[in-house]
Homo-oligomer: A and B are copies of this chain.
Amino acid sequence: MDKKQENKKVFLEIVKQLRALIKDEGIQPGEKLPSERVLSERLNVGRSSVREALRSLELLGLIETRHGGGTFLSSGQSHQLVEILASFILQENKSIDDVHTTRRMHEKEAIRVICSNRSLRSLPVWESLFMKLELEDGIIRDLLLRELIIASGNRLALKIWIQLAAYSAVPLKKYSTKEEKPMLQMLLKSMQLGYEEEALRAYENWIRYINNSSS
């Protein structure tokens, strides 16, 4: 009775073999994969089966496809996944708020992590951003936030954050305004000094400002 339910799913097997091939071949992100016809021959399966596997990986954002050009291992982030999630999983209205909230959670956590770690606090990138704020008119908001996530050292969190950011991106006003400068400076300085509460407060103020100014 207790049948083991041998999960056959040949289609998933191809995905697995593709992964092995990529590893064995040492294909790096951005590089080209063998053509569908070659893969079909190499794996001893039909081309349509190969395509079904490739299409799935494409939806996940793991590969990129150029008509007439070839198939490539994805280098950067993708927004396919988030679009699908958006349309299928997140059907309710509240979902957009959730994306926003979750995104902010990652950012706050990154600030906490950085504040509590001395070597992260003294990363040269903060001083660099501080200077940039002083010299230039504004900086790209997401750029600063991405640096925070990167510095926190959690690559999975970065992956997730990129997806969330891609979805909740604000079309207008990507650059910070003059009004934001003191808040951002406060955030960076507090962080460099390890003042967690003040850094978070500055962050909250900033986000509040962004939300109000965009509405």
Contacts and interface: CB of A to CB of B under 8 A. Distances in A.
A98 B53 contact: no
Contact of A60 (B84, B90, B156): B84
A157 B105 contact: yes
Interface residues of A, number: 41
Contacts of A84: 15, 60, 62
A102 to B, nearest CB: 5
Greatest chain B CB density within 10 A among A56, A84, A90, A160 is at: A56
A58 to B, nearest CB: 8
A75 interface: no
A80 B12 contact: yes
Interface in A93-132: 94-95, 98-99, 101-102, 105-106, 108-109
Nearest to A12: B80
Contact of A102 (B11, B60, B80, B156): B156
Nearest to A61: B89
Contacts of A211: none
7 contacts: A11-B55, A16-B87, A48-B48, A62-B88, A92-B155, A101-B154, A102-B157
A159 interface: yes
A90 B156 contact: yes
A88 B55 contact: no
